[in-house]
Amino acid sequence: MSPEVSVLSQKTDVPQVVVLPVDPLNGPTAMLLPFIAQRIFNMAQERMQELDPERFTRVLMANLWGANPGLLVLALLEPSGKLVGHVTAEYGTDGVKKWIYCAQCKADGNVGDAVRRALQMIEAWAESLVNVQPAGVPVTRLTMATHRDDDAWRRKYGFEKDRSVCSRVVGSPIGSSAQ
């Protein structure tokens, strides 16, 4: 990560929430790993109906333990050490382009500008992936799955709406009787 990305807010009028990369072997995030895994699992159960939450969490955590360079998990911590949020981000490529997909971003209550700093950390990490295959190609997009209002993400964090992702239960009625 670049040195200009601060783990603490420069603002004094917001809650001071620390944003740290999760490392299963080192630092304060190692001790919180079971709680982070449970948060990821719970959010997958609540908001990712298209997948198996247990499988998603196990694969993500195995990749985290394996130090997969294409995965970044961030913890949002109060100065006391209380876990108040998490973010997951994964590197993707089709062999020509590169992108980052943020499947989960969840904060408990007012975390000040911690989400903004988490996004800055993700972008700094994305810049470091320029030498990952295909080498020399920069990461060009950050995509995010969210249940938050699109306008709020546009205003607050500069996201643009590219498309909408909708889902339905397979086998449910199609058409006017589907109400």
Please report whether residue 11 resides in a domain: no
pLDDT of residue 101: 93
> pLDDT tens across 5-64, in order?
677 777 777 788 999 999 999 988 999 999 999 999 999 999 998 899 999 999 999 999
pLDDT of residue 14: 73
**Count of domains observed in the chain:** 1
Residue 132: CATH number of its domain: 3.40.630.30
> In degrees rounded to 5, what are phi and psi of residue 86?
-155, 160
Please report whether residue 166 resides in a domain: no
- pLDDT > 70? residue 1: no
Note whether 106 and 39 are within 8 A (CB): yes
Please report whether residue 165 resides in a domain: no
Please report whether residue 81 resides in a domain: yes
Please report whether residue 176 resides in a domain: no
To which H or E segment does residue 52 belong?
A: none
| Residue 131 tokens, joined | 């030498």
- pLDDT > 70? residue 2: no
pLDDT of residue 84: 97
- From the number of C-beta atoms within 10 Å of its C-beta (0-12, 13-18, 19+), residue 123 rates as middle
38 or 154: which leads in pLDDT? 38
Domain span including residue 99: 18-158
Please report whether residue 163 resides in a domain: no
Write down the pTM of the prediction.
Answer: 0.85
Report how far residue 114's alpha carbon sits from residue 75's, in angstroms, rounded to the nearest whole number. Answer: 10
16 or 1: which leads in pLDDT? 16
Please report whether residue 12 resides in a domain: no
Average pLDDT, the chain: 88
> pLDDT tens across 79-106, in order?
999 999 999 999 999 999 999 999 999 9
pLDDT of residue 5: 65
> pLDDT tens across 100-142, in order?
999 999 999 999 999 999 999 999 999 999 999 999 999 999 9
